[in-house]
Amino acid sequence: MNSIPIPDPIAVLHVARNYAVTERQAEVGLTWASVNMSVKWAEFAMAAGLDEADGDAMNRWSQQFPRIRQDVLDDAIANVTSAPAPVLQPAPDPVGRLLAEVRRAPALRRPASPMRTNRRRVRIH
């Protein structure tokens, strides 16, 4: 497990609505659940002598225990909602940084239109 997956924004909204939590809590909960699901699969695979990288075996495991995903998500949301506030402090926001950089950058002038017309301009007051 080299990187933590980024939750799907639609899934975040769905979880936020279904669990009546903030989008930030839903995002953290989904991330927590996905990591926990990977850990549970790895434990099961090791105990059953399966290859952890075998996607088909993981799908069969998931089908054999259909409530596992829901239970893992329920636990993750419960842990997130009971967590102290610092756990949910936003990480550096890349979108916010980009917007700040764009706002600081000098505005470029729009090039003149290559097409000129001799029509009169109508001004409405």
pLDDT at 17 over 90: yes
pTM of the model: 0.61
Q: For 54-63, how does the pLDDT look when each residue is reduced to its tens digit (9 = 90+)?
A: 888 888 888 8
* Tokens of residue 125, six digits: 């007051």
Q: Which residues contact 11 (CB under 8 A, 6 or more apart)?
A: 30
Question: What pLDDT is stored for residue 1 in this prediction?
Answer: 45
Do the Cβ atoms of 33 and 65 come closer than 8 Å?
no
Q: For 57-82, how does the pLDDT look when each residue is reduced to its tens digit (9 = 90+)?
A: 888 888 888 899 899 999 999 988 88
Percent of the chain exceeding pLDDT 90 equals 15
Q: Burial code of 67-91, b = ≥16 C-beta within 10 A, e = fewer?
A: ebeeebbeebbeebeeeeeeeeeee
